[in-house]
Amino acid sequence: MKAVAAVLAVLIVCGAGAGNNLDSLLKREKQVEGKEKVEVLNGLAKEYFFRQPDISLEYGQKALALACKLGYTEGTMYALKNIGIAYYFTAYYDKALYYYTEALKIAQENHNRRAEADCMNNIAMIYVNLEEYDTALHYYRDALKIFEEINDQRGKAVSLNNIGEINYKKGDYTEALDYYVKSLDKFRKMDDRFGYSSAVNSVGDAYGKLENWDKALEYYGKALTIARYYEDKFNEANTLINMGIIYTNTEKYDKANKYLQEGSTLAVNNNLRELIKNSYLGLSNLRKKKGDYKSALDYYQKYESIKDSIATESAMKRIREFQARYDLAARNSEITELKHQETKQRMHRIILYIGLTFFFVTSLVLYLINRAKHRANVELAKALNEVKTLRGLLPICSNCKKIRKEDGSWSQLEAYLRENSQAEFSHGVCPDCAAELYPDFFKK
The full set of domain ranges for the chain reads 7-151, 403-443
pLDDT score for 61: 94
> Element (H or E) spanning 35, and its range?
helix 34-47
Alpha carbons 12 and 198: distance in angstroms, whole number: 11
Q: What share of the chain is helix, strand, coil (3-state, %, to 5)?
A: 80, 0, 20
The HSE-up count of residue 317 (CA atoms within 13 Å, CB side) is 20
pLDDT score for 438: 67
Tell me phi and psi for residue 404, to 5 degrees: -90, 130
CB atoms within 10 A of CB 326: 10
pLDDT tens digits for the chain (444 residues)?
555 444 444 444 444 334 447 888 888 988 999 999 999 999 999 888 877 888 999 999 999 999 999 999 999 999 999 999 999 888 888 999 999 999 999 999 999 999 999 999 999 988 888 888 999 999 999 999 999 999 999 889 989 988 998 999 889 999 999 999 999 999 989 888 778 878 898 999 999 999 999 999 999 999 999 889 888 888 899 999 999 999 999 999 999 999 999 999 999 999 898 999 999 999 999 999 999 999 999 999 999 999 888 877 666 655 555 554 455 455 555 545 655 676 677 777 778 778 777 777 777 767 777 776 677 666 656 645 554 555 566 788 877 778 887 787 888 877 777 777 766 666 666 777 767 766 766 655
pLDDT score for 129: 82
pLDDT score for 8: 45
Tell me phi and psi for residue 410, to 5 degrees: -110, 145
CATH fold of 7-151: 1.25.40
Q: The whole model's pTM is what?
A: 0.51
pLDDT score for 77: 95
Nearest of 213, 228, 154 to residue 185 by alpha carbon? 154
Tell me phi and psi for residue 423, to 5 degrees: -75, 145
- Helix ranges (DSSP H) in 191-269: 193-209, 213-229, 233-249, 253-269
